[in-house]
């Protein structure tokens, strides 16, 4: 890590990574540090952490180039398994979604749908779309965060799972606005897909119901 980069306050600890807020060349940033897993062989653990650090950082760079609001990547430190990225000022959608006006609910969720459609059209699967991973800025821009579970995929199944997991989050955490919010999300997803010429979107949406009938999410390696 560069001497001018200073980690300060821990803002989040997860199973895969710890997030620090700090400064890098005078800029307010987030340091995402992938932590070691003691149950893994050390050499394998290092290989996995390097791979996932690079995958997430490169995905953020590519997705930003598509025009989707994501944090700008400033530095990729593979020696220490750290991504340095811009700190996004704002509030988590999770903290305001249940008190949004009808107009704001429609505006935000339609926009989220458009963002995810653009990702899927370009072969990106977020893997963890939640209201905790979306920041609303003062000027009402939406930023999509945390691409730690990001994958490259062109399959209907993987993209349907992306939508299914978001639906589950809304149902379990925001039941009051779940139906309207998810419907607005699908409207934005469909509208943007049509503009892009993304013909598979109808199959992706339809397949969400198929996934729900299984009773549980089937891991990729278990699919026939």
Centre a 10 Å sphere on the Cβ of residue 23 and count the other Cβ atoms it contains: 15
- 128 among known catalytic residues: yes
Closest alpha carbon to 50 in 34, 37, 38: 34
How far apart CA 116 and CA 100 sit, in angstroms, is: 21
C-alpha count within 13 angstroms, C-beta hemisphere, residue 211:
24
pLDDT at 218: 47
Residue 59, SS3 per DSSP = helix
Q: Which tokens belong to 72?
A: 């700008």
Q: Can you list the residues of the chain whose pLDDT is less than 70?
A: 1-7, 215-224
Centre a 10 Å sphere on the Cβ of residue 200 and count the other Cβ atoms it contains: 16
Q: Which tokens belong to 114?
A: 């458009």
Centre a 10 Å sphere on the Cβ of residue 37 and count the other Cβ atoms it contains: 14
pLDDT at 216: 55
pLDDT at 15: 83
Q: Kindly report, residue by residue over 21-68, the tens digit of the pLDDT.
A: 999 999 999 999 999 988 999 999 999 999 999 999 999 999 999 999
State the catalytic residue, choosing from 98, 128, 154, 162. 128
**pTM score, whole prediction:** 0.91
pLDDT at 74: 97
Contact 171, 178 (CB under 8 A): yes
Calculate the alpha carbon distances from 191 to 113, 219, 220 in Å.
9, 29, 28
How far apart CA 77 and CA 84 sit, in angstroms, is: 8
Instruction: Give the torsion through C-alpha atoms of 23, 141, 169, 206, to 10 deg.
Output: -130
pLDDT at 1: 53
pLDDT at 7: 62
Residue 35, SS3 per DSSP = coil
DSSP strand pairing (151-152 vs 17-24): unpaired
């Amino acid at each position: 890590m560069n001497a001018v980069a200073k980690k300060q306050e821990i803002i989040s600890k997860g199973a895969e990574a710890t997030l620090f807020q700090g400064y890098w060349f005078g800029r307010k940033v987030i340091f995402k540090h992938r932590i070691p897993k003691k149950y893994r062989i050390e050499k394998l653990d290092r290989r996995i952490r390097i791979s996932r650090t690079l995958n997430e950082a490169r995905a953020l760079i590519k997705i930003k180039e598509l025009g989707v609001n994501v944090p700008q990547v400033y530095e990729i430190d593979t020696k220490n398994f750290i991504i340095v990225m811009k700190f996004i000022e704002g509030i988590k959608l999770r903290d305001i979604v249940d008190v949004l006006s009808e107009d704001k609910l429609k505006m935000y969720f339609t926009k989220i749908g458009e963002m995810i459609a653009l990702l899927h059209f370009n072969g990106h699967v977020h893997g963890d779309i939640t209201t905790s991973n979306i920041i609303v800025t003062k000027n009402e821009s939406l930023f999509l965060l945390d691409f730690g579970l990001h994958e490259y995929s062109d399959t209907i199944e993987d993209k349907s799972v992306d939508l299914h997991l978001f639906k589950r989050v809304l149902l379990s955490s925001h039941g009051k606005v779940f139906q309207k919010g998810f419907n607005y999300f699908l409207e934005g997803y469909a509208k943007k897909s049509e503009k892009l010429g993304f013909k598979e979107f109808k199959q992706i949406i339809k397949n969400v119901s198929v996934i729900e009938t299984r009773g549980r999410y089937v891991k990729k390696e278990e699919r026939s």
